[in-house]
Structure 1
Amino acid sequence: MTRRLISSGSPFEALAGYSRAVVDGDDIFVSGTTGYDYARMTLPEGLAEQTHACFANIAAALAEAGASLDDVVRVRYIVAQRDYADEVFPIFGRYFATARPAATLIVAGLLQPEMKIEIEVTARRRR
């Protein structure tokens, strides 16, 4: 089995030395992903919009790896403020209604003050 790197096209990936995702056999490891539109390098202002954009970015990386959000087995959510949880929980539930992955929510400061959420997932392609 071969290891394959997937890039979002963000210049930060090369600068910081990481990939949006790494495919290793049937396992897909998606890096912590924010809601940036990597083509324009813009970030939506609202929490809900950033959350939906995170999922869009993650879904694109998974699709390139031959998987989908339904293949996610582990997710880590990082939110900048604990009071964000009530707003994002229903959004998480919509995207993971089928997969129902093991999940952790962490409250922590993010790299830029405008970032409200970051999501990291691990998926496993089904045979």
Structure 2
Amino acid sequence: MSERRRISQGSTFEEQVGYSRAVVDGRWVFVAGTTGFDYSTMTISDDVVEQVDQALANIADALDRAGSSPDDVVRVTYLVPNPDDFESAWPSLRRFFATAKPAATMMVVGLQEPRMKIEIEVTALKPAQP
């Protein structure tokens, strides 16, 4: 039976809402919807590309702490309040997921705060150990 491990990045949202940035169960890594907040300062840029880059850095950190990497991502969901913002994010997303090329969905939704321009959720499957 696999052991479940929870990963926190110290976000005030994690504590207030009651969730983990990521949950590891066996080879599976589930990273919660992640926005462009810099959790060390709890600040967020007004620029969508900077938000995407920060969200991806937050995701990379969570994956690393889970013993995984962006190359292991099999599924990604993009949540955006303004679909016109999404295309400017493509270059950053293409670089981050260059190897994995995960299955992807983009949805237009309302996010928790008007400052949030994108939220990204990923699922990764770590390689089997020989």
Q: 1:85 to 1:12 in 2, by over 3 A?
A: closer
Give the % identical residues: 55
Q: Which position in structure 2 is the counterpart of 1:115?
A: 116
How much has 1:29 moved relative to structure 2? 0.2
Offset of 1:33 from its aligned partner? 0.2
Residue 47 of structure 2 is aligned to residue 81 of structure 1: no
- Output the CA distance in 2 between the equivalents of 1:94 and 1:120: 17
Question: Displacement of 1:15 after TM fit?
Answer: 1.5
Residues 69-118 of structure 1 deviation map (CA, whole Å, 9 limit, x = unaligned): 01000000011101112211222111111000000001111110010000
The residue type equivalent to 1:118 in the other structure is E
Q: Which amino acid aligns with 1:27?
A: W
Q: Does the residue aligned with 2:51 lie in a helix, a strand or coil?
A: helix
Q: What corresponds to 1:106 in structure 2? A: 107
Structure 2: gaps of 5 or more residues? none
Instruction: Please give the TM-score of this superposition, normalised by the length of structure 2.
Output: 0.95
1:11-53 Cα shifts (integer Å, max 9, x gaps): 2212111000000000000000001111110001100000000
> What CA distance in whole angstroms lies between the structure 1 residues aligned with 2:54 and 2:94?
15
Distance between the aligned counterparts of 1:87 and 1:12, measured in 2?
27
Match runs of 1:30-109 below 5 Å: 30-109=31-110
Query: Which amino acid in the other structure matches residue 52 of structure 2?
Result: T
Q: Which moved more, 1:25-34 or 1:90-99?
A: 90-99
Q: State the aligned residue count.
A: 127
Tell me how large the CA RMSD over aligned residues is: 0.8
Secondary structure of 2:5's aligned partner: strand
Specify the alignment match of 1:22 in structure 2.
23
